[in-house]
Structure 1
C-alpha cells in the first residue's frame, strides 16, 4: 500500500508539474499525501510527524514572502549579481531596442497558437496595390538588367528621374510629411517586385527606406530638421545615404573610431559651439550620388560645453548634413558585385553646428539606440524582400527550364537527381514568401527585433540555397552571362545580402539567441533589471515564478518527448495538427534547455557562441514553421499548398532535431549534458530529412500550373516582353501550357523513328505529309519547339563588345546570334 500511495503521489506531482499548477496546489497535494499515508498506516507515527513538520516548515518558508526573501532570495540575489554578465552601454541599447512578439511565445515553451491564428496579415490599400500594378511596372520597364550591370554600371537616367518623381525614396515617410506612408508589407512587396527585374534597382530604392535619414527624422528629428529635410527627401531633390560602417567597424559599433569633439568654431561667419568631426566610412550605399549624408560617430565633450562638466564621453551620436558641407569628401565607388551606387565618405576636422545632431543636443549619445530601433524594423523588410524575389524568380524560371529542357529524351525536371534541387527551390520559396508576409505584417504592428533578425539571417541563407540550386539545374544557361541570363546577377550579389545589416555569422551566433534569451524569456530580463536595481522584493517574486516555470517546462519537455508529442495541443484538427504538436514539444525543449544553460553556464554563455547559436537555430526554425503554418492556413489549402507546406514543415523539424542534437552533444558540463539528453531526446532524434516522396511531389509541381505557382510568383515582373529574360521565359511557359500536348505527340513519334528528316522542321513536314499529325498539331509543335529553343539558348558576343566597345554590337545582333547557329 505504501508503494501504491507513493506512486500515486508521484503521478499527481508529475501532473501538477506538467500543467504548471500554482504553489497552493502543491501544498494541498502534499497535505493530502500525508493524510493518505496516515489513514492507511503506511508509515510509522514518528515518520509521519517528521514529514509533517518538514512539510509545514517548507510551506511556511514558501508561502510567507518576508521569510522567503530573507532566507532564500537574498542569498540567491547575491549569487545572481556575481554571475550576471557585464553589459556595455551599447549592448544594453541593442538588447532593449524593439519589441518582442510571436517569438516570445515560441521561446516560452507553451505557445498560445490562437495568437498566431488570430493575427491578421497587413492588407494592401488600394493606393498601395495601384502603386505595385502601375508605378512599379513602369519603373521595371525602364530598366534593362544586362545594360545596367555590364554596360552602364548604373541605372538609366530615366529610371532615376522616375524614382524621384514617383516618390520611391519616400515610401516610409508618412503622408503628413508628404511621403507615401506605405505599410511595411507594401514596401516589402515593392522591393520584391523591383528585385525580380534588377537587384541594382531594388537596392537603390530599398536603402533610403530601410536605414535612412527619413525614418530617423520622423522618429527623432527636431521640427526644424523635419522642415528642412523631409520635403527635399520626399520630392527626390535630396538623395540620402547613411554612413555607419568603416574600415575599423563593421558589426561591432563599439569599435567605431570616428570621433566628434565639441568645441568652438566658425560657421557661416559666426563663432559657435559645434563639433569637430573626423571620420572614414565605407560600404555606404548611394554615397556616390547622395546629396544629404547621415553619419554615426562617437561624441566627446572634454570642456563640458554641452552643459554637463562631469560627462565627457557621450557615446554614439547621429548627425545629418549636406554632402557638399565644407570638408566632407565623397570618395570613389566600390563595386560590390552589382552596379548599385556604393562608396566611401571621409573627412578630417570637419566643423559642424550642434543643430546637425538628429534630434538636437537632447539626443547626443543616443545614436546607437536610434539606429538599432530602425534596423530592427528594416531587417524585416528589405533583405527578406530581396531573398523572396530570388526565390520567386527561381521557382518560376527554373520550372520553365526544367519542364522544357530535355536530356536523354526526358524533361530534366523528371530526373530524381534534378528533383533534389528543384524540390529545395520549391520548398524554400514557399518558406520565403510565408516568412515575408508574416514578418513584414508584424513590423506594421510593432518592431519585433528578434523576429526580424531571424528573418534577415534565415531568409538570406535560404536565398543562397535557392540561387545555388537554380544554378545547378540551369547549368550553362546560368553560367553564360548575357541579356538572356536571369540568374547571374543574383548569384554575384548574393554575398551582399549575407553580409549587410548585421553579418549572418554575427546574427546567428550573437544576436538571435543572445537577444532572444533575454528579451523573449518570461522572467530573465526582469530578473536582470531587479538584480541591477537591488530590488529584493521584485527579484524574489520573479525567482520563484521562474523556478516553477523551469520545472513545468522540464516535465513537459520530457513527457512530450516520450509521447511523441501526442500529449501536446493543436489548435486545429486535420493534416496540420501533428505539426502543431511537434512544434509545441520543441518549444518546451527550447525553454528548458535555455533555463538549464543559463543556470549552469551563467555569464560564460555569452562567449560560447556555437552553443548559443544552436539554441538560436531552434528558435529560428520554430518561427519559420509558424510562418509556414500561417501561410498555408491563409491560402487555398489545396493539395499543392499542402505538399509545399509539408516539405517546409518537415525541413523545419529536421533542422530543430539537428540543432538540439548538436547542442546536447557539445554541452560542456557532463551532468547537465546527461540530463539534457534524458529530458529532451530520451528516444533519440525523431526527425528525419524531407522524404523523397514529399520532395518529388513539390518538384513535380514546379513543372505544372497550380495555385501555388501563381501565389509564389505574384510579385515577379513578368511583362517585359519577348526581349526581356523573364518575359521570354514567361511566354515560353504559356506556349508550353497551350502546345505541349501536340509537341509531346510529335516528340514520341520522332523518338520512335517514325518520322523522316534530320531537323525538327523536316520531321514536322513529314508528319503532316503522312497525316500522323494534323495541321493544327504541327503548328503547335513548331511553336513549342521555337519557344523551347529560346529557353535553352545562351548569348555570345564579339570581342570588341566584350572589350568595352558597347557600340560595336547591337542588342538585336546579340539576341539573334544564337538563333542563326541552330542546326537541329
Structure 2
C-alpha cells in the first residue's frame, strides 16, 4: 500500500502564502546553498570542531546574505522578512552557520553602518559584504554577560590616541576576524572602537572543548595597552544604547533561525518515523508518536506565524525591541523542546551524528543563552506588561 504524502509542516499552516514571490526565491536560493554546500559536511565539521569560515564567507558573500538587510556599500538592501527567512534556512543547516552570518551582518556590519563615519563604512562594509573581510563584536566579558553595563574594558585618551585594556569572552568569529567592534568604558560613557587584526597588544585566542556550536569559531579577545588612532571610534554611538541596538538586530535573526533548526529536526523525525517499523507497523502509525508530532508541529507553526508578524512590523518600521524579545524567547524555547522530543522519537539513532537532531539540540543550548538569556527576555516582557522593572 502506498502511503499518502504527509503535509509539509509549514505549508499546513499556510506560511508560504504569507511570503511574496521575490522573498520566496531568495529563501530557496539560501536553502539550495545549504543543501549543496553545508549538509554533506556539517556532521564532520561538528565532530571535528571546525568550520571553514573564511571559505564559506566568500560563498555567502557571493550569495548576497552578508549584511543583506543593510542599504548601500555593496549590501543587498533586502527586506527584514527576507533576512529572517535566510536565517531560517541557514540555521536549518547549523546554528554555527547562522551565527557566522548574524555576527557578520547584524552585529559587526550593522554597528559600522549605523554608527560609523563615511570613511569607516567605505573601508570595511563592501569587503565585509563580499565576505573578503570578517568582523566580530566584542561586548560580553567573562563576568558581564546579561549585565553589559558592568563592563571592565576601558579606553583612555593618550594625546590624540585611544588606549584600550580589557577582555571579551564568547566572541563568534573572533580569532578569524579582520576587524573587531569592541565596546569599552570611557570617561564620556561606553563607546565602540574598530580594532583591526594585528594591532599590537590585541590577541584573539580560540575557545576549544565546546560541546555546543562546535562548527563555529568562538574566541576570547584580549586587549593589552592596545593603541588606536582617534578615528578608530564609532562617533555616533555613546552609551549602552549603541551595542544594545546591534544586539536587537541579531536577536531578530534568531527569531527565525531557531525555528529553522526546529523545522529540520521535525522534518527529519517525521521521515524517520514513517520508515522505521516497530512490531510490523511504522513508528508514525502509533498514537503516542502522532501526539508528539502534532504538538511539535503546532508549536513550530505558531512560532513561525509570530516570526512573520515580527518581520512585517520590522519592515513597516514599527517594531519595538520588546516584541523581538517575545520572538526570541518563544522561538528558542520551543525549538529546544522540539529538538529534545525529536531525539526521543529517534531513540538510539537520535544520539548519533547520522541525524541532525542531537547536533541541533546541543547548538540550541547556546542559542538559548546568547543575545539575552530566556530569563532576561522574560523580564523584558514582564516589565512591558506590568510597568515594573524586576532587573534590580
Rounded to whole Å, the distance in 1 between the matches of 2:58 and 2:246 is 27
1:235 to 116, 125, 130: 130
Give 1:456's aligned residue: 328
Rounded to whole Å, the distance in 2 between the matches of 1:160 and 1:374 is 20
Indicate how the Cα distance of structure 1 residues 157 and 324 shifts in structure 2: closer, same or farther if over 3 A, else same. Answer: closer
**Residues 279, 347 of structure 1: 8 Å contact kept:** yes
Rounded to whole Å, the distance in 2 between the matches of 1:215 and 1:156 is 20
**1:200-251 deviation per Cα after TM superposition (whole angstroms, max 9, x unaligned):** 2222222222222x21222222122222222222232210100000112101
How many residues align? The count is 371
Give 1:353's aligned residue: 229
Give 1:153's aligned residue: 50
Decide which structure has greater strand share.
2
1:222 to 106, 117, 128: 117
Indicate how the Cα distance of structure 1 residues 405 and 287 shifts in structure 2: closer, same or farther if over 3 A, else same. Answer: same
Q: Give, in angstroms, the shift of residue 136 of structure 1.
A: 4.5
Give 1:499's aligned residue: 369
Indicate how the Cα distance of structure 1 residues 158 and 215 shifts in structure 2: closer, same or farther if over 3 A, else same. Answer: closer
1:445 paired with 2:316, answer: yes
Structure 1: 5+ residue stretches without partners: 1-120, 265-272, 301-313, 518-593, 599-604, 610-824
Map 1:98-497; keep pairs closer than 5 Å.
124=20, 126=22, 128-134=23-29, 136-143=31-38, 144-151=41-48, 153-155=50-52, 158-174=55-71, 176-212=72-108, 214-264=109-159, 273-300=160-187, 314-334=188-208, 335=210, 337=212, 338-359=214-235, 363=236, 366-380=238-252, 382-446=253-317, 447-479=319-351, 481-482=352-353, 484-497=354-367
Bigger Rg, structure 1 or 2? 1
TM-score (norm 2): 0.87
Rounded to whole Å, the distance in 2 between the matches of 1:123 and 1:608 is 38
Q: Give, in angstroms, the shift of residue 336 of structure 1.
A: 5.3
Map 1:538-557; keep pairs closer than 5 Å.
none
Q: Give, in angstroms, the shift of residue 507 of structure 1.
A: 1.7
Rounded to whole Å, the distance in 2 between the matches of 1:178 and 1:138 is 20
Rounded to whole Å, the distance in 2 between the matches of 1:156 and 1:219 is 25
**Residues 199, 489 of structure 1: 8 Å contact kept:** no
**Residues 155, 185 of structure 2: 8 Å contact kept:** yes
**1:610-665 deviation per Cα after TM superposition (whole angstroms, max 9, x unaligned):** xxxxxxxxxxxxxxxxxxxxxxxxxxxxxxxxxxxxxxxxxxxxxxxxxxxxxxxx
**1:500-556 deviation per Cα after TM superposition (whole angstroms, max 9, x unaligned):** 001112221x22222x14xxxxxxxxxxxxxxxxxxxxxxxxxxxxxxxxxxxxxxx
Q: Give, in angstroms, the shift of residue 384 of structure 1.
A: 1.6
Structure 2: 5+ residue stretches without partners: 1-16
Query: SS state of the match for residue 162, structure 2?
Result: strand
Rounded to whole Å, the distance in 1 between the matches of 2:377 and 2:198 is 35
Rounded to whole Å, the distance in 1 between the matches of 2:211 and 2:107 is 19
Indicate how the Cα distance of structure 1 residues 124 and 367 shifts in structure 2: closer, same or farther if over 3 A, else same. Answer: farther
TM-score (norm 1): 0.43
Indicate how the Cα distance of structure 1 residues 409 and 193 shifts in structure 2: closer, same or farther if over 3 A, else same. Answer: same
**Residues 331, 345 of structure 1: 8 Å contact kept:** yes
Rounded to whole Å, the distance in 2 between the matches of 1:141 and 1:444 is 30
**1:45-103 deviation per Cα after TM superposition (whole angstroms, max 9, x unaligned):** xxxxxxxxxxxxxxxxxxxxxxxxxxxxxxxxxxxxxxxxxxxxxxxxxxxxxxxxxxx
Rounded to whole Å, the distance in 1 between the matches of 2:175 and 2:94 is 19
Q: C-alpha root-mean-square deviation of aligned residues, in Å?
A: 2.3
Give 2:380's aligned residue: 511
Query: SS state of the match for residue 75, structure 2?
Result: coil
**1:13-70 deviation per Cα after TM superposition (whole angstroms, max 9, x unaligned):** xxxxxxxxxxxxxxxxxxxxxxxxxxxxxxxxxxxxxxxxxxxxxxxxxxxxxxxxxx
Indicate how the Cα distance of structure 1 residues 376 and 151 shifts in structure 2: closer, same or farther if over 3 A, else same. Answer: closer
Rounded to whole Å, the distance in 2 between the matches of 1:333 and 1:608 is 30
Rounded to whole Å, the distance in 2 between the matches of 1:409 and 1:165 is 49
Query: SS state of the match for residue 475, structure 1?
Result: helix
**Residues 398, 473 of structure 1: 8 Å contact kept:** yes
Indicate how the Cα distance of structure 1 residues 355 and 160 shifts in structure 2: closer, same or farther if over 3 A, else same. Answer: closer
Rounded to whole Å, the distance in 2 between the matches of 1:492 and 1:434 is 25
